[in-house]
Amino acid sequence: MVPEGHSLLEIAIPLTLADLAAYPLITYDVGFTGCGHIGDAFKTAGMTPDIVPATMDSDVVQQYVSLGSGVILVASMATEQSSQNYLRLIEVSHLLASNVTRLAIRRDTYLRSYTSDFILQFAPQLKRADIIEALQAEPHSNSGGLHKSEYEERVLKIS
């Protein structure tokens, strides 16, 4: 995301890593999700961008950008809830590896309704029955857990 009127908005799409590297890149704190993919993409391209880790809060990062501190690189889900009407989204997913988020639930615990509600909001393609079925699946005898293929068949891999 960039502030309205930013020069990156004038560059022909799709943007390149070199286009982005010309500006300070503001992103989540280094230990937070996705930051490693950003560094890896530039390293693979032989570039060393000015990456400024700011915080774990997307609203704070967006505020930095609105003040002209750089270009923000955040997950698309963070931009869906943005209240910053003066920031413009530029698609760069073709430049970075995707992040995969996984949710883990212990089999031997009661799944409270607010937990399943959270899962269903996070992964609307699932049904409550999918979650219950996965929780009731027999673990593999050797590993104590589901084989990867069984896990994926139960649609709990969320990407």
User: Looking at this protein, which amino acid is placed at residue 70?
Assistant: G
Q: From start to end of 1-110, where are the E strands? A: 2-3, 25-28, 51-55, 71-72, 87-88, 101-102
Measured distance CA(82)–CA(61) in Å, rounded: 11
Q: Is the pLDDT assigned to residue 137 strictly greater than 90?
A: no
What pLDDT was estimated at residue 158?
45
146 vs 99: which has the higher pLDDT:
99
What pLDDT was estimated at residue 157?
43
Maximum average pLDDT range among 41-45, 68-72, 138-142: 41-45
Chain segment 70-112, per-residue pLDDT in tens:
888 776 666 655 555 678 888 888 888 877 777 888 877 788 8
Terminal CA-to-CA distance of the chain, rounded, Å?
22
| Structure tokens given for 60 | 């704070």
What pLDDT was estimated at residue 155?
45
Domain range annotation of the chain: 2-88, 101-158
User: Which residue, chain included where needed, has tokens 């649609």?
Assistant: 155
Alpha helices in the chain, H assignment, sequence order: 17-21, 35-44, 58-66, 76-80, 113-122, 128-136, 148-153
User: Looking at this protein, which amino acid is placed at residue 55?
Assistant: T
Q: Please provide the average confidence, as pLDDT, over all residues in the chain.
A: 76
CATH 3.50.50.60 fits 2-88, yes or no: no
What pLDDT was estimated at residue 9?
87
Q: Which residues are CB-neighbours of 119 under 8 A, at least 6 positions away?
A: 103, 105, 126, 131
